[in-house]
Structure formats: structure tokens, C-alpha cells
């Protein structure tokens, strides 16, 4: 076991109730998400799920499964099927359709949505961060009013030993390339919000068009690995561009595994996507 934290530890605590909690009137929450482009959900994931996710992330990294997945998407094996998909890892598949997450997404997205992709990673304590960028993919209507949302799951939370997330509220209204601010690195920008203290199992929902940056740990020598899973979802109403050549296979496997239990019929329906650019989706 590579993990350097215990999901049920006392340092941060966590959501000890795996059931869906009543959220009351979410009108203001939805309005803030529409205006600012992000929503922070501290201790959102229950410790039992975290305890299963962590070793799966370790396996994904240590057995080279992440590298193989990348090679099948952008490397020499582009178009081939990877030996294992993230969603085939049991806890990752459960996270993808976590009922409280589905409830919040349906609320802030204003209707039905489809699964776009899932990534899993263990970032080392000496990770240098990631420059300002956004992750929005286009749809065939060019309709930016249809949101794409990334669920950023911080399994071990965020603090000075792990690093922080910086977001630029309202930047989802800009129609600019993903790397428009990349030359700025991870430097502070006027109006930014820094999220640097979150308990284990916290989730940040972000409009995929919002610019954000991953800041490195303040003390990398005394730091710890960042366990990070991100899942992307897109509002139905247009066809979205996939990011993995094997996207059809991915959706088919999710249906075969019965993820979501049929409660979200649009979630893994391939009719919500275009072909992969320059190749036939498989």
C-alpha cells in the first residue's frame, strides 16, 4: 500500500454517513455555481468509499495502467483498448455514479447529463503543479450555455503538504482556448480564489470552462502524495467531442457493469457524442 494517509483518520475527519443527506433549498447554491463556476463540497465522500479508492489509485499508478491508458489515447497505441478502464475498478465505478454526486449534478446542471471521461492519478509531493487552463470540450452546436462539469475529488484533501487549487471565478464566460493563460504558469491572478484547506474526501465541482491551476505543496520535502480523481459530465442537448478514442467501448463497459443501476438513463448513452477527432471511436 503506497497511500500516505488514512481516509478514516482523525486529522480531517470525513463524511461518516454514506447515505444521501438532505440538501434543502439549493436555489442560492445553484445561482452561485452559475455565476462563479464552482462549488466546494467538503468531506463529501464517505470513508468506506475512500478506503477502497486509495488502493485502486495505487494499483492504477504502480501497475502502469495509467500510462497504458494515456498511450491508448494520445500515444503510440492510440485507438487500442487499454487493459483496464478506470471505471472497471470497482470503487472508481461506484464513485462515478455516487448517488449524492448525481443529485448535486442534476441540480446545478439543470437537467439530464452524460458521462464524458474519468481520470485517476497519484501526484507526488514534488509535483510542480499545472499552469492555468480550462478543460471545456466543444459540442456540435457550439452552445456554451450547455455546461460541462468536472468533479474534482481530493481523496486526501488539500493542505500545505499536498498543494492547493486556484480558480478564477466567472472565467467560464470567456470563449478562449484552454491554454489561453498557460504562459502565466501558476502565478497569482487578480480575482482568483485559492482552495488550500479541505478535509479528506472533499469534492470541488467546477464548470469545465473555468480557468484553474494546480499549485504545488508549500513544503514539498515534507509533503505527501495527492490522490486525485476527476470525473467529467456534460449536459444533454448537443453532441460532445470525446477525449478518448475508445469512448464507445468505455460507455459500453459502464452499461455492461450496470453502473448507476439504470437510474440515470442518459449517463452512458453514446448518442450524446460526436466521433473522436481524426479517428473512429471504438
Domains and CATH numbers, the chain: 28-272 (2.60.120.620)
Per-residue pLDDT of the chain (282 residues; tens, 9 = 90+): 454 444 433 233 333 333 334 455 678 889 999 999 999 999 999 999 999 999 999 999 999 999 999 999 987 788 789 999 999 999 999 999 999 999 999 999 999 999 999 999 999 988 889 999 999 999 999 999 999 999 999 999 999 999 999 999 999 999 999 999 999 999 999 999 999 999 999 999 999 999 999 999 887 666 789 999 999 999 999 999 999 999 999 999 999 999 999 899 999 999 999 999 865 433
How many C-beta atoms surround the C-beta of residue 16 within 10 A?
A: 10
The residues, any chain, with a CB within 8 Å of residue 245's CB and separated by 6 or more, are 72, 73, 78, 79, 276, 279, 281, 282
Task: Give the separation between CA 267 and CA 232, rounded to whole angstroms.
Answer: 11
**Taking Cα atoms as reference points, which of 124, 157, 164 lies closest to residue 50?**
157
| Assessment of whether the complete model's pTM goes beyond 0.85 | yes
Q: Are 37 and 198 in contact (CB under 8 A)?
A: no
Amino acid at each position: 500500500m503506497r497511500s500516505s494517509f488514512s481516509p478514516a483518520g482523525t486529522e480531517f475527519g470525513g463524511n461518516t454517513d454514506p447515505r444521501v443527506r438532505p440538501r434543502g433549498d439549493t436555489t442560492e447554491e445553484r445561482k452561485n455555481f452559475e455565476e462563479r463556476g464552482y462549488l466546494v463540497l467538503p468531506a463529501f465522500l464517505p470513508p468506506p468509499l475512500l478506503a477502497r479508492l486509495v488502493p485502486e489509485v495505487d494499483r492504477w499508478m504502480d501497475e502502469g495502467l495509467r500510462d497504458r491508458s494515456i498511450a491508448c489515447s494520445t500515444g503510440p497505441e492510440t485507438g487500442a483498448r487499454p487493459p483496464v478502464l478506470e471505471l472497471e475498478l470497482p470503487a472508481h465505478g461506484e464513485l462515478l455514479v455516487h448517488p449524492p454526486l448525481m443529485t448535486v449534478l442534476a441540480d446545478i446542471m439543470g437537467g439530464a447529463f452524460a458521462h464524458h471521461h474519468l481520470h485517476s492519478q497519484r501526484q507526488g509531493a514534488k509535483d510542480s503543479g499545472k499552469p492555468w487552463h480550462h478543460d471545456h470540450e466543444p459540442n456540435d452546436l457550439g452552445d456554451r450555455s450547455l455546461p460541462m462539469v468536472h468533479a474534482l475529488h481530493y481523496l486526501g484533501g488539500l493542505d500545505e503538504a499536498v498543494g492547493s487549487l486556484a480558480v478564477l471565478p466567472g472565467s467560464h464566460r470567456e470563449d478562449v482556448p484552454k491554454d489561453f493563460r498557460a504562459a502565466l504558469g501558476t502565478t497569482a491572478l487578480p480575482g482568483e480564489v485559492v482552495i488550500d484547506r479541505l478535509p479528506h474526501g472533499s469534492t470541488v465541482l467546477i464548470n469545465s470552462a473555468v480557468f484553474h491551476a494546480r499549485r504545488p505543496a508549500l513544503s514539498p520535502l515534507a509533503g505527501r502524495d495527492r490522490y486525485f480523481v476527476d470525473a467529467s459530465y456534460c449536459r444533454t442537448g448537443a453532441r460532445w467531442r470525446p477525449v478518448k478514442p475508445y469512448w464507445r467501448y468505455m460507455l459500453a463497459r459502464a452499461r455492461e457493469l450496470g453502473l448507476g443501476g439504470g437510474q440515470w438513463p442518459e449517463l452512458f448513452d453514446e448518442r450524446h457524442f460526436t466521433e473522436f477527432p481524426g479517428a473512429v471511436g471504438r
